Amino acid sequence: MYFRMAKRLLTETDKRLLWKATWTLGFKGLLSVHKHKRRLKRGEFFPPFLYMSVINSCNLRCQGCWVDVAAKQQRIEVDAANRTIDEAKKMGNAFFGILGGEPFMHKDLMKIFAAHPDAYFQVFTNGHFITDEVAAQLRELGNVTPLISVEGSEIISDERRGRAGVLNDTMKGLEAALRNKLMVGVCTSVCKSNIDDLVSERWIDRLIEMGVMYCWFHIYRPVGPESNPDLALNSEEQRRVRQFVVDIRATKPIIVIDAYHDDAGNALCPAATGFTHHVGPWGDLEPCPVIQLATESIHDKRSLKDTFNESAFLRDFRELTAQHTRGCVIMERPDLLIDLANRHGARDTTARGSVMKELEDISPRRSQFQPGDEIPERSLAYRWAKKYAFNDFGTYTQHFSEDRWKDPDANRTNDPETTDKTSLPVLK
Ligand code: SF4
C-alpha cells in the first residue's frame, strides 16, 4: 500500500508541487509542531496551525452552514492577511487553512498566496470557481492545495447545498484542478443522507481513479442558525466512519485526514488542545470556525504573538473544554460556551447576532468522544505521525476528569439509534 501511494504521488502530480508540499507542509509543518511543543513546555502558547476565513460570501446556501453567507460582504484584506501570516510564520508556522464563505470569491486571494511562497495553503472550496485558468495559476504558485467539498450524490448535493447543478459544477472544478496536476483533496461533512454513498470503498476507489490524493471526512455538526439535527450521525454511525477511516488508511493508496483522534483512537478536539484556532472574516480570533465568539482580533494593536499568548478567553476555552470532555464542546456542552462567553464578555462575531440563542437551542449529543469504543490506527505511518505531531500534547492528562463528563446521550438510552451496535466490516 505504501508503495502504491508513493507511486501515485510520484506519477500523478507535478514533481515541483510534490517537492513544495513535502518541504513546506511536511518538514516545516513538523517543525512548527515541534516549536509548539517547546512553547508549551515554557508555558507559552501559539497555535501551530491557523485557519482563516478570508470572506463570508458564498455562491451556495448549504444546510447547516454557520457563516453569514448572505450578509454584506466582509473580507480580510490583503494587508491584514499578510500581516497575520507573517506574524504566524515568525512563530514557526508554515501551514494555513483558508476558509470562507467561498474563498475563491475573495478578489485578492491569489495575491495572498503569492506573497508567501514559504508557506503552504489548504483552501476549503466548493470548487465552482476553479477553472483551468485558476488551476494553472495555482500550479504556477505551487503552494496551494484545494480541498473540494463533495456532499453526496447529485440529488443529495443539490438538496444539501441549496440549488440545482451543484455537484456538476463541483466536479468540473475538481477535474480542472486534476487536469492541472494540483495536489487535490476532497472533503465531506458526513451526515445521515450521504454516509452510505460516500463512506464507501466504491467512492474511495473512484477518488483514486480520478487522481485525488487525499480525502477528509468531517462529522456533520448541527450548529448555526439553521442547523438540521435530523442529519446528525448517532454514536454507531460515528463509530462506522472512524473504522472506515482507519481501514482506508491501512489498505488504499490515498491519504485520509481526520482531525479528531490520536494514534490510539482517543478522541480530541484540536481547538481544546491548542493545535489550531481560527480567524473569522471580521478578523476575530475564535476557538474554531463553528464557535463564533471572541474577545480579540487580528486588528488589535497587540502583536498576534502576545494576543494568543495572553488571551484569557482562549486559554479558558481550552481548559474548560478539556476539563469536561475529549469531544466537541459545541455538540456536547453548549452550556459551557454560554458561561464562558458571559464570564469573558465575549462578543458574537456574526452579522446575524444570534449566537447565544443558537447555543441555547442546541440539543446536546455525543460527538467523537465515545468512551470504551476507541479504534486505534492500523497503519504504522499514521501511528507514528500522530504520536509525534497530532495528539493532545498533554492537554487531557492535565485537565480531563471522567467524573466531570456528562454523557449527552444519557437521556436517549431507549433510542435504538444510539444503542444498537453492529459489528463493523473491516477492510482487508
Ligand atoms: S469545538 Fe468541536 S468543531 Fe470546534 S474544533 Fe473542537 S471538535 Fe471541532
Q: Ligand 1 atom closest to Cα of 288?
A: 4
Interval 407-421 mean pLDDT? 64
The preferred substitution site among 187, 219, 220, 221 for testing ligand 1, maximizing ligand atoms within 8 Å of CB, is: 221
Residue found by looking up cell 486559554 in the block: 315
Integer Cα distance of 215 and 302 in angstroms = 37
Lowest-pLDDT choice from 183-197, 265-279, 407-421:
407-421
Question: What is the signed CA dihedral for 405, 406, 412, 418, rounded to 10 degrees?
Answer: -10
The preferred substitution site among 269, 276, 286, 337 for testing ligand 1, maximizing ligand atoms within 8 Å of CB, is: 269
Centre of ligand 1 from the C-alpha of residue 209, in Å = 32
Q: Is 270 in the pocket of ligand 1 (CB under 6 A)?
A: yes
Interval 1-11 mean pLDDT? 91
Residues linked to residue 133 through DSSP beta bridges, in sequence order: none
What does DSSP say about strands 293-294 and 347-348: parallel, antiparallel, or unpaired? antiparallel
Q: Is 369 helix (H, G, I), strand (E, B) or coil?
A: coil
Specify the pLDDT at position 417.
52
Residue nearest to atom 7 of ligand 1 (CA): 328
The preferred substitution site among 66, 291, 293, 326 for testing ligand 1, maximizing ligand atoms within 8 Å of CB, is: 291
Stronger pLDDT, 298 or 13, i.e. the higher one: 298
Integer Cα distance of 95 and 121 in angstroms = 6
Specify the pLDDT at position 412.
67
Amino acid letter, residue 122 = Q
Identify the band that residue 43 occupies on the pLDDT scale cut at 50, 70 and 90: very high
Residue nearest to atom 5 of ligand 1 (CA): 271
The residue among 132, 147, 290, 173 whose CA lies nearest residue 223 is 290
Contact between 254 and 12 under an 8 Å Cβ cutoff? The reply is no
Which domain, by its residues, includes 113?
A: 2-408
Q: Is 268 in the pocket of ligand 1 (CB under 6 A)?
A: no
Specify the pLDDT at position 413.
55
Identify the band that residue 425 occupies on the pLDDT scale cut at 50, 70 and 90: very low
Residue 135 buriedness (CB in 10 A; 0-12 / 13-18 / 19+): buried
The preferred substitution site among 217, 261, 285, 329 for testing ligand 1, maximizing ligand atoms within 8 Å of CB, is: 329
Q: How many domains does one find in the chain? A: 1
Q: Establish if 418 belongs to a structural domain.
A: no
Q: Ligand 1 atom closest to Cα of 327?
A: 7
Identify the band that residue 46 occupies on the pLDDT scale cut at 50, 70 and 90: very high
Query: What is the phi/psi pair of residue 128, to 5°?
Result: -65, -20
What is the Cα 307 distance to its own chain's centre? Answer: 23
Q: Is 328 in the pocket of ligand 1 (CB under 6 A)?
A: yes
395 CB-side CA count, 13 A: 30
Q: Does residue 420 carry a pLDDT above 60?
A: no
Interval 384-408 mean pLDDT? 93
Interval 360-386 mean pLDDT? 94
Specify the pLDDT at position 419.
46
Specify the pLDDT at position 133.
98
Integer Cα distance of 125 and 141 in angstroms = 17
Q: Establish if 423 belongs to a structural domain.
A: no
Q: Establish if 198 belongs to a structural domain.
A: yes
Q: Establish if 302 belongs to a structural domain.
A: yes
Interval 147-160 mean pLDDT? 81
152: left (phi over 0), alpha (psi -120 to 50) or beta: left
Q: Is 330 in the pocket of ligand 1 (CB under 6 A)?
A: yes
Centre of ligand 1 from the C-alpha of residue 1, in Å = 31
Q: Establish if 426 belongs to a structural domain.
A: no
Q: Does residue 427 carry a pLDDT above 80?
A: no
Specify the pLDDT at position 310.
96
Contact between 212 and 186 under an 8 Å Cβ cutoff? The reply is yes
Stronger pLDDT, 280 or 156, i.e. the higher one: 280
Q: Establish if 35 belongs to a structural domain.
A: yes
Please report, for residues 197, 216, 233, 314, the alpha-carbon distance to residue 201 in angstroms, rounded to integers and kept in the order given.
Answer: 9, 14, 19, 39
Centre of ligand 1 from the C-alpha of residue 366, in Å = 13
Q: Is 271 in the pocket of ligand 1 (CB under 6 A)?
A: yes
* pLDDT, tens digit (0-9, with 9 covering 90-100), for 223-240: 988 888 999 999 999 999
Specify the pLDDT at position 163.
75
The residue among 28, 80, 66, 22 whose CA lies nearest residue 49 is 28
Identify the band that residue 424 occupies on the pLDDT scale cut at 50, 70 and 90: very low
Stronger pLDDT, 2 or 216, i.e. the higher one: 216
Centre of ligand 1 from the C-alpha of residue 291, in Å = 8
Which parts of 13-131 fold into alpha helices (H)?
A: 15-20, 28-41, 78-90, 109-114
Q: Establish if 421 belongs to a structural domain.
A: no
Specify the pLDDT at position 423.
46
Specify the pLDDT at position 428.
45
Residue nearest to atom 6 of ligand 1 (CA): 269
Amino acid letter, residue 296 = E
The percent of residues above 70 in pLDDT, for the chain, comes to 96
Q: Is 285 in the pocket of ligand 1 (CB under 6 A)?
A: no
The preferred substitution site among 290, 320, 333, 362 for testing ligand 1, maximizing ligand atoms within 8 Å of CB, is: 290
Lowest-pLDDT choice from 104-108, 175-179, 399-403:
399-403
CATH number at residue 375: 3.20.20.70
Centre of ligand 1 from the C-alpha of residue 226, in Å = 18
Q: Establish if 359 belongs to a structural domain.
A: yes
Q: Is 269 in the pocket of ligand 1 (CB under 6 A)?
A: yes
Integer Cα distance of 260 and 258 in angstroms = 6
- The secondary structure element, H or E, covering residue 324 is helix 312-324
Residue nearest to atom 4 of ligand 1 (CA): 288
Question: What is the signed CA dihedral for 363, 368, 369, 375, rounded to 10 degrees?
Answer: 150
Integer Cα distance of 304 and 88 in angstroms = 8
Residues linked to residue 187 through DSSP beta bridges, in sequence order: 149, 216
Q: Is 329 in the pocket of ligand 1 (CB under 6 A)?
A: yes
Q: Ligand 1 atom closest to Cα of 287?
A: 4
Q: Does residue 370 carry a pLDDT above 80?
A: yes
Contact between 293 and 287 under an 8 Å Cβ cutoff? The reply is yes
Identify the band that residue 422 occupies on the pLDDT scale cut at 50, 70 and 90: very low
Q: Does residue 418 carry a pLDDT above 70?
A: no
Omega before 101 within 30 of 0, i.e. cis: yes
* pLDDT, tens digit (0-9, with 9 covering 90-100), for 291-341: 999 999 999 999 999 999 999 999 999 999 999 999 999 999 999 999 999
Specify the pLDDT at position 235.
94
Centre of ligand 1 from the C-alpha of residue 175, in Å = 31
Residues linked to residue 99 through DSSP beta bridges, in sequence order: 53
